[in-house]
Structure 1
Amino acid sequence: MRPLRYSINTTLDGCCHHEAGIPPDEESMRYWTTEMERADALLFGRTTYQMMESAWRRPDTGTWPDWMEEWEVPFAETIDQAKKYVVSSTLNDVDWNAELVRGDLGEAIQQLKQEPGEGLWVGGVTLPLALADLGLIDEYEFLVQPVLAGHGPTLLSGLRERIQLELVERRELRSGAVVLRYRSAPVPV
């Protein structure tokens, strides 16, 4: 069974909004590119899918926009080419190498996890909360930025039950950001 990893940028106070003062830098973009390359597919909710598509889909011209730094292009190419699944009850169709996921969320994700491969990668805020509540996330990966946002949506806000985790990796980046990777810990009997 392939694992499901929740990966996201967050501030020290747990804010995970993309406008919370977490500017990408070359090192973090390289890190996320490598992590995304390891995934068989990306799993997004509607909001995250539409946000990522508007920023990272290759334009019809084939040329990346002028705002994009040269060091952002590998990330853009990786996410643009990646297989994607979109969980949405409001979208009628998707493209950008994507398929809609409908019906019972738990059953649908269990089916995706049963397929052979290295793993699935989920980002965003709302969908990961639902997946965590269902006990479907195997790993949690946070790139913690040295910023206090003081506002915005926070990481897994509203989680129904506590989830015990065990640290499997810790890496410091030159920017002062820290990558923390955890896996779900077995529940003591």
Structure 2
Amino acid sequence: MRPLRYAINVTLDGCVHHEAGLPPDEESMRFWTAELERADALLFGRVTYGMMEAAWRRPATGVWPEWMDASQLPFAEAIDTAKKHVVSSTLSGVDWNAELLRGDLRQAVERLRKEPGEGLFVGGVTLPLALADLGLIDEYVFVVQPVLAGHGPTLLAGLRERIRLELVERAEFRSGVMALRFRPTAEHHAVVGGASPS
């Protein structure tokens, strides 16, 4: 089964607004590019899909905009060409190498996870909360910014039940940013699966 990985920037006080952290540098762009390249497909909700498309879709001219520097081009190429699945009940259609996911969220995502491949990447705020509540996220990647934002939205706010995680990898960037990779513990999987933990 393909693992579903959730990755997001988060400030020290839990803010996940896309502009709350440090401006991306070369090291962080390399990290995010590698995360995208580990995935066979990306999973977004309507809002995140719209934001990503506005920022990272290759213009019709085929030429990337002048504001994009050399460190951002590999990320732009990776996200532009990636297969995308968009969860939305309000959009009538999507393009940008994307397809709509409709109906029961658990069934739709479990179907994607059963397809062969290396993994799925989910980004955003609202959709990952729903997926975490359903016990469908296999890996959490929190890119912790050395910033206090003083405002929200905050990481997985409204989660119905506590999720126990174990740290499996840590990387520190020169900027002071830390990338922390976690997986739900066996105890958590046992509870979500309906069995009681030993």
Answering whether residue 71 of structure 2 is matched by residue 103 of structure 1, we say no
Counterpart of 1:146 in structure 2 is 146
Percentage of pairs with the same residue: 75
Partners of 2:10 and 2:26 in 1: CA distance:
17
Match of 2:119 in 1: 119
Corresponding residue of 1:58: 58
What letter matches 1:139 in structure 2?
A: E
In structure 2, the partner of 1:165 is: 165
Is residue 71 from structure 1 mapped to residue 68 from structure 2 by the alignment? no
Tell me if structure 1 keeps the 8 A contact 2:21–2:145: no
Deviates more, 1:64-73 or 1:157-166: 64-73
Deviation at 1:21, TM superposition (A): 3.8
CA distance in 2, matches of 1:153, 1:23: 18
**1: CA distance between counterparts of 2:71 and 2:164?**
36
TM-score, structure 1 normalization? 0.98
Q: Which residue of 2 aligns with 1:12?
A: 12
User: In terms of mean alpha carbon deviation, does 84-93 or 64-73 score higher?
Assistant: 64-73
Give the partner amino acid of 2:184. S
**How many residue pairs get matched?**
189
Give RMSD over aligned pairs. Answer: 0.7
Q: Secondary structure at the match of 1:144?
A: strand
Unaligned ranges ≥5, structure 2: 188-196
Moved over 4 A (4+): none
1:69 Cα shift?
A: 1.2
Instruction: Give structure 1 stretches of 5+ with no counterpart.
Output: none
Aligned counterpart, 1:26: 26
Task: Kindly provide the CA deviation profile for residues 28-83 of structure 1, in whole angstroms up to 9, marking residues without a partner as x.
Answer: 00011011101000000000000000000000011111111121011000000000
Contact residue 169 and residue 180 of structure 2 kept, 8 A: yes
**C-alpha separation between the residues in 1 aligned to 2:170 and 2:50?**
31
The answer as to 2:136 corresponding to 1:136 is: yes
The CA deviation string for residues 110-137 of structure 1, in whole angstroms up to 9 with x for no partner, is: 0000001000000000000000000000
Following TM superposition, by how much is the alpha carbon of 1:22 offset from its aligned partner in structure 2, in angstroms? Answer: 3.0
- Cα distance between partner residues in 2 of 1:73 and 1:59: 13
